[in-house]
Structure 1
């Protein structure tokens, strides 16, 4: 999946990936990602209008909070792999690290690489005691990514009408 021509400047660069703020320029790629049946088993599918609203919220978080979700691109080719970043959820008063990649990108370590960079970036910049990761209990692949990043199950909750396990990653892994 090719990224749009107008792309924001990179926020985070890793060995293999470039993460850029997710903007309206990524609308078609975002809708395609979220519409994939394998992806929307665990995250909502969006109509174009719903995606437009969600991306406006993401752009608002970048403008007001200094963080948000990013488009994840393969550094070598610019190929769009998915999204990863930090999202503030007012209903929990928590910042979540989230990652969603298209199925063709699964199994290459990209989710762990992107999420590790986002978590380190967030904990270095935000005044929060911990980050969360909200994961569907049957999404064992995401739970493994969370575990690799120092997250541990914290509580069961409900989000968007779905039961979730909320993992937490304290600022200092050796405390709490």
Structure 2
């Protein structure tokens, strides 16, 4: 579990299926990340749980510290197709514009660089998702390459592991 000033993050799990479905059912959200049927969501959440068990990391569910309300999902996820770990974020539209994505992602980035051996973290962002591009840039990501994810174009950003000074 991770905590920030305003948020609590814990591993995303099968029990989160209803919140996950509601998140992805919103057209404002799924415009860039897609939607899920209940069966697809269960498979996706099983994959997340398996990644936590096998790799020691995966997506977190994001909750407001004051109310416990689910506001999204965020965290490091490994993609076999690319052989790299993506720092992914998707929040409910009602939570946009409040800095939650940046706050939660920074906590996850700090955690990832402390617990994982990756030299960099990637972020796959649809070219038209201006808000996510701004989040990536605020976090220090820079463009690495262009790619395709789930048959959609993405701009792949990278954030290099911080160097330690002696």
- Residues 1:19 and 2:15 are matched in the alignment: no
Greater percentage in helix: 2
The runs of 4+ residues in structure 1 deviating greater than 4 Å are none
The match for 1:156 among 134, 137, 146 is 146
105 and 118 in structure 1: CA distance in 2 versus 1, 3 angstrom threshold: same
55 and 84 in structure 1: CA distance in 2 versus 1, 3 angstrom threshold: same
Q: Which residue of 2 aligns with 1:136?
A: 126
Q: Which residue of 2 aligns with 1:80?
A: 70
What's the CA shift string for 1:85-118, capped at 9, x where partnerless?
Answer: 1100011000000110000000100000000100
- Residues 1:94 and 2:74 are matched in the alignment: no
The match for 2:50 among 60, 71, 84 is 60
TM-score by length of 1: 0.91
* Alpha-carbon distance in 1 for matches of 2:163, 2:116: 16
Q: Secondary structure at the match of 1:39?
A: helix
* Alpha-carbon distance in 1 for matches of 2:67, 2:149: 35
- Residues 1:71 and 2:61 are matched in the alignment: yes
TM-score by length of 2: 0.97
The match for 2:31 among 15, 18, 41 is 41
Q: Which residue of 2 aligns with 1:7?
A: none
The match for 2:114 among 102, 124, 127 is 124
The answer (yes or no) to whether the contact 1:150–1:173 under 8 Å persists in 2 is no
- How many residue pairs get aligned? The number is 164
Q: Which runs of 5+ in 2 are unaligned?
A: none
Q: Secondary structure at the match of 1:88?
A: strand
* Alpha-carbon distance in 2 for matches of 1:13, 1:29: 20
Q: Secondary structure at the match of 1:56?
A: helix
What's the CA shift string for 1:2-43, capped at 9, x where partnerless?
Answer: xxxxxxxxx110000000111111100101101110001110
* Alpha-carbon distance in 1 for matches of 2:93, 2:118: 32
- Residues 1:105 and 2:95 are matched in the alignment: yes
